[in-house]
């Protein structure tokens, strides 16, 4: 019995919507409560980890999305992104592309 030849999937083209993991410092912490200035100065800045799909960057920020729509071939469709997050570039410690 002859085996059927398996058709290889075409190589997926990547556009700017690459899967990414970004480690960054949250500089926007504010509780709105009364606090002791000395205690606040002793607290470390929170380190955050965001994952999503890289859209673009400029001098000031990186823009990622938590959800994207795919076409029939499995390629991201620009303009169908959801869960937007802007991250200030000066707060970024590390950028790691997960699909590299």
DSSP structure class, residue 59: S
The string of pLDDT tens digits covering residues 36-77 is 889 888 989 999 999 999 999 999 999 999 998 989 998 888
The string of pLDDT tens digits covering residues 8-42 is 433 444 456 789 999 999 987 777 788 888 988 89
Q: What are the structural domains, with CATH classification, of the chain?
A: 19-97 (2.30.30)
DSSP structure class, residue 16: S
Q: Determine the longest span between alpha carbons in the chain, in angstroms.
A: 80
Question: CA nearest 54: which of 44, 46, 62, 45?
Answer: 62
Question: CA nearest 81: which of 16, 10, 12, 14?
Answer: 16
- Indicate the pTM of the whole model: 0.72
- Report CA torsion sign: 65, 66, 72, 73: positive
Helix, strand, or coil (residue 37): helix
């Amino acid at each position: 019995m002859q085996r059927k030849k398996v058709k290889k999937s075409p190589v997926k083209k990547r556009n700017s919507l690459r899967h990414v993991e970004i480690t960054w410092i949250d500089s926007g912490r504010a509780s709105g409560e009364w606090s002791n200035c000395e205690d606040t100065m002793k607290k470390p800045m929170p380190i955050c980890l965001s994952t999503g799909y890289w859209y673009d960057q400029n001098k000031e920020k990186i823009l990622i999305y938590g959800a994207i729509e795919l076409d029939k071939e499995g390629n991201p469709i620009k303009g169908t992104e959801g869960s937007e997050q802007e991250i200030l570039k000066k707060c970024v410690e590390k950028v790691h592309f997960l699909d590299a």
